[in-house]
Amino acid sequence: MTRLPIPFADFVADPLGALARGREAGGFADLEVGVGVLAHDDVRALLADPRLRANFPSFLESFGVTEGPFHEWMSMSPLNHDGAEHQDWRSVLSRTFTPKRVERIRPFLRDAAHTLIDEFAPRGNCEFMAEFADAYPSLGLCELIGVPSEDRERFRGWANMIGLGFSPVGLAERIGEIDAALVELLAYTRQLAATRRTEPRDDLVTRIAEAADQDGWDDDRVAATIAGLVFAGHETTKNQLGWMIAVLAEQSGIWDAVAAGTLAVADVVEETIRYRSTVTSVGRRAAESIECGSDRIEAGEQVLLSLWSADHDGAVYPHPDELNVTGNTEPHLAFGHGAHHCIGAALARAELQDALAALTARLECPRVADGATWKPPIGINGPDTLPITFAARP
């Protein structure tokens, strides 16, 4: 059993190159945080393997966060549990967070996208993350959840701060701010759920509160679930929007084909997610020893399942390092696989599709200007700032 060692600095300097070298060396790597699993088929199989258990707090601890509200929240999160407890949580969410309900807010999503574009289209430039990507997903999520319009700016601020907890570089230095934002968000969601129990509406908070009552959840679990949706539905989609624009800024033919209707917007969105997903990897811990291909993962080992590597595996995707809108038939793994497959995937897809349709209809293919900055290629990845220039379509 031979694993290619990939030092953290080497990975940060050239992540896709380092992952490719690891696949060529056998598909497993020694990372500073555990065993890296890199081949598509192995990642897919292990994402669904019950012998690997979610254990996000151990990753926090490896970056210096060993206690506090954020650590406790992630420890109790359904995303950090498996088996019956996780399935009970998903059964409640599956009765409320449905594709049909997402479809009902798509007119709102389209209107929200055009309203944001109205603010910067006449200028011919914008800082895309601040002026579109940061605002748009929180608007859609708050509409679905049922957050009053006057509170949505606060929600966005909380989601942005908590999102820093999933980008480990510098995490320990900012954990105090992250903890404070989480405490405020949990207090708000607890009160919002209590209000909806006595004043029900046709929104997600009401349905979660009612379904949770039937399943015997306490107030803390209800509040933590709603808070988790706020974070997950904002931070991931925000960064995926940034990646989508950065990638398509170099593909004017694709951009114009979407605008003309000769390329399906859904196909373009799926391929840009495969090409550059905002979630780079999934962490697990082995509850028992697992034979996997030519390797053996020992009980207790920390495992990092690389979604970036899996979705760039040339054994599965022709020309994996190129944007291939019509040539890839294998679904990507960016939303995960198995019991922990992203429950909000339908909302993320709807937001990305309606955003791209609006942007291509209103703007010529943009150009990324000088000054773009990026998060490190670990945890949740995407642009911190993305200045773009463009010409508005007539």
Which structural domains are found in the chain, ordered by start?
Answer: 4-389 (1.10.630.10)
Cα separation of 254 and 248, whole Å? 7
Q: Which pairs with CB-CB distance under 8 Å and at least 24 residues apart come from 327-332?
A: 328/271, 328/274, 330/40, 331/270, 332/270, 332/273, 332/274, 332/277
pTM: 0.91
Sort residue 218 into left (φ over 0), alpha (ψ -120 to 50) or beta.
beta
Among 268, 263, 256, 310, CA closest to 19: 310
Alpha-carbon span 144 to 303, nearest angstrom? 34
The tens-digit pLDDT sequence of the chain (394 residues) is 678 999 989 999 999 999 999 999 999 999 988 899 999 999 999 999 999 998 877 778 777 888 888 888 888 777 777 787 778 778 777 776 778 888 999 999 999 999 999 999 999 999 999 999 999 998 888 888 788 888 888 888 888 888 777 776 677 788 999 899 999 989 988 888 888 888 888 887 888 888 777 767 777 778 888 877 776 778 899 999 999 999 999 999 999 999 999 999 999 999 999 999 999 999 899 999 999 988 999 999 999 999 999 999 999 998 999 999 988 888 999 999 988 888 889 999 999 999 999 999 999 999 999 999 999 898 889 999 999 999 999 8
- Please report how many Cα atoms fall inside a 13 Å half-sphere around the Cα of residue 204, on the Cβ side: 31
d(CA 363, CA 255): 9
Interatomic CA distance for residues 147 and 141, integer angstroms = 9
Residue 85's Cβ-side half-sphere holds a number of Cα atoms within 13 Å equal to: 10
